[in-house]
């Protein structure tokens, strides 16, 4: 039996003001194609199916269409709610969907009720654990303190107890949506108790609340495979504990991440990565405006989503307009070196140093745009001041 491990579809999400609808439709096509190409029996979506609790209508329609295509292709689908999803809305109609092969796990009690499957070696139990906010579920789980580590330990123990009663020798797959130890963060993830900068890898610590929000890997000991969601980079924490990552890039910190999914075979015990290159590439560009607008750079990145940071000592004239015209998919624009020539003089100091009205206006322009007036602007300032005096 083959499982396709995915997560963090974030249907309905945009990128710096640009719609990602076309990219997300392409992503759903890739998932459906993988079912046929890889002989997938079960598709796992480990949380954050939608990007927000109230997704746009097209995102709901896209999910419905995709689920129908997957079922028609002969696959079952198991979905858990993530921290971006509304568990109640995502779980609507789950009892009706179950008969069609779509299994939604959105409530606490769903965590230890498995989807029961069978491969040629015997029973396979899949436990789908939705995102569990500790403040809401700690009491029901019997936790003394409200943190993710305690909630995860309590839930996985109930899973072990259920397996012992149901089928002790069954292969066991657990889906969860959390921050696990050794995981590496991206910019686009919403913090769920553990604050991490992009590229930072966190470990579990019992001494702090933030450390307890990072779930230790031994919580998943004894399971054949743990399919995690939440972190957007595809990564293997151990052979049996992995993040699929998001199929799309949602921040520039993900520009170099491998994107795709995992295919897990229960009989062979193999794990195969699927690589997907969906949507426009992302690129961070830093340099002077001449470097950013050079023909070589434009030829390579003009159709990418770009983050531009200019390092000119003085702010170039009409810099934003020139860059935006050259890069129609400009997502972020800033200055790193503008104003360095000024030597850090404050605006109030510039006003004190000004000897004429013209120098006052010039100081203001340099303060707000890191560039003094050029010759045509100096002429306009002189004319305006003369009219004001008259």
Same domain, 239 and 288: no
pLDDT given for residue 345 in this prediction: 64
pTM for the predicted model, two decimal places: 0.85
pLDDT given for residue 219 in this prediction: 97
Same domain, 309 and 213: no
Tokens representing 44?
A: 């796992």
341, pLDDT greater than 50: no
61's CB contacts (< 8 A; 6+ apart) are none
As a whole number of angstroms, the distance between CA 222 and CA 26 comes to 36
Task: Output the CA angle 32-283-324, nearest 5 degrees.
Answer: 110
Count other Cβ atoms within 10 Å, centred on residue 18: 13
Phi, psi of 33 (to 5 degrees): -65, -40
Share of the chain above pLDDT 90, in %: 79
pLDDT given for residue 353 in this prediction: 76
Q: DSSP letter string over 170-229?
A: SEEEEEEES-BTT-B--TTSPPSS----TT-B----TTSHHHHTSBPGGGGTT-SEEEEE
Same domain, 165 and 212: yes
As a whole number of angstroms, the distance between CA 154 and CA 140 comes to 10
At which of 247, 275, 303 does a domain end?
Answer: 275
Angle between helices 148-166 and 134-141 (to 10 degrees): 50
The residues with which 18 forms a beta bridge, in sequence order, are 15
Tokens representing 145?
A: 């303190």
Please write the tens of the pLDDT for every residue from 270-328.
999 999 999 999 999 999 999 999 999 999 999 999 999 999 988 888 999 999 999 99
234's CB contacts (< 8 A; 6+ apart) are 242, 243, 244, 245, 257, 258, 259, 260, 261, 262, 273
Same domain, 156 and 290: no
Specify the residue for token string 């520039």. Answer: 252
At which of 237, 257, 275 does a domain end?
Answer: 275
Please write the tens of the pLDDT for every residue from 161-174.
999 999 999 999 99
Strands 260-265 and 2-6: antiparallel
pLDDT given for residue 339 in this prediction: 53
At which of 260, 275, 290 does a domain end?
Answer: 275
As a whole number of angstroms, the distance between CA 141 and CA 135 comes to 11
Average pLDDT, the chain: 93
Closest CA relative to residue 216, chosen from 246, 251, 241, 248: 241
As a whole number of angstroms, the distance between CA 237 and CA 209 comes to 22
Structural domain for 383, as ranges:
282-389
pLDDT given for residue 196 in this prediction: 86
340, pLDDT greater than 60: no
Same domain, 146 and 100: yes
Among the listed ranges 216-225, 349-358, 378-387, which one has the minimum average pLDDT value?
349-358
Q: How many domains does the chain have?
A: 2
DSSP secondary-structure letter at 315?
Answer: P
Same domain, 209 and 64: yes
As a whole number of angstroms, the distance between CA 126 and CA 198 comes to 31
Please write the tens of the pLDDT for every residue from 199-226.
999 999 887 878 899 999 999 999 999 9
As a whole number of angstroms, the distance between CA 301 and CA 212 comes to 42
Same domain, 162 and 298: no
Same domain, 303 and 346: yes
pLDDT given for residue 195 in this prediction: 84
Same domain, 316 and 372: yes
338, pLDDT greater than 60: no
As a whole number of angstroms, the distance between CA 383 and CA 388 comes to 9
- Say which residue, 282 or 374, is predicted with more confidence: 282
Please write the tens of the pLDDT for every residue from 85-142.
999 999 999 999 999 999 999 999 999 999 999 999 999 999 999 999 999 999 999 9
Same domain, 294 and 256: no
Same domain, 15 and 134: yes
Phi, psi of 54 (to 5 degrees): -115, 85
Same domain, 48 and 156: yes
CATH number at residue 218: 3.60.21.10
388, pLDDT greater than 60: yes
């Amino acid at each position: 039996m083959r499982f396709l491990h995915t997560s963090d579809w974030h249907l309905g999400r945009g990128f710096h003001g640009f719609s990602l609808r076309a990219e997300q439709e392409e992503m759903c096509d890739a998932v459906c194609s993988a079912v046929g190409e890889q002989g997938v029996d079960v598709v796992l979506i480990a949380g954050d199916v939608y990007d927000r609790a109230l997704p746009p209508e097209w995102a709901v329609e896209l999910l419905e269409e995709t689920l129908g295509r997957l079922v028609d292709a002969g696959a079952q689908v198991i979905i858990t709610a993530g921290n971006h999803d509304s568990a109640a809305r995502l779980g609507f109609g789950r009892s009706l969907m179950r008969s069609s092969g779509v299994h939604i796990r959105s409530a606490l009690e769903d965590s230890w009720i498995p989807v029961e499957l069978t491969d040629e070696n015997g029973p396979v139990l899949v436990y789908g654990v939705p995102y569990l906010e500790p403040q809401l579920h700690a009491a029901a789980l019997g936790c003394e303190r409200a943190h993710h580590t305690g909630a995860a330990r309590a839930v996985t123990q109930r899973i072990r107890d259920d397996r012992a009663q149901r089928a002790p020798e069954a292969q066991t797959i657990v889906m969860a949506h959390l921050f696990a130890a050794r995981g590496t963060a991206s910019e686009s993830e919403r913090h769920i108790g553990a604050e991490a900068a992009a590229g930072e890898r966190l470990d579990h610590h019992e001494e702090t609340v933030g450390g307890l929000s990072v779930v230790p890997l031994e919580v998943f000991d004894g399971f054949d495979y743990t399919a995690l969601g939440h972190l957007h980079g595809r990564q293997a924490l151990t052979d049996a504990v992995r993040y699929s990552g998001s199929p799309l890039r949602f921040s520039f910190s993900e520009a170099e991440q491998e994107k795709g999914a995992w295919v897990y075979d229960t009989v062979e015990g193999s794990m195969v990565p699927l690589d997907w290159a969906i949507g426009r590439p992302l690129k961070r560009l830093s340099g002077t405006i001449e470097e950013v607008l050079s023909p070589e750079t434009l030829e390579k990145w003009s159709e990418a989503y770009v983050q531009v940071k200019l390092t000119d000592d003085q702010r170039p004239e009409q810099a934003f307009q020139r860059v935006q015209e050259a890069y129609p998919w400009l997502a972020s624009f800033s200055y790193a070196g503008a104003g360095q020539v000024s030597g850090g003089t404050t605006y109030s100091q510039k006003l004190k140093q000004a000897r004429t009205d013209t120098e006052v206006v010039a100081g203001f322009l340099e303060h707000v745009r890191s560039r003094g007036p050029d010759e045509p602007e100096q002429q306009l300032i002189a004319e305006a001041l003369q009219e004001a005096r008259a």
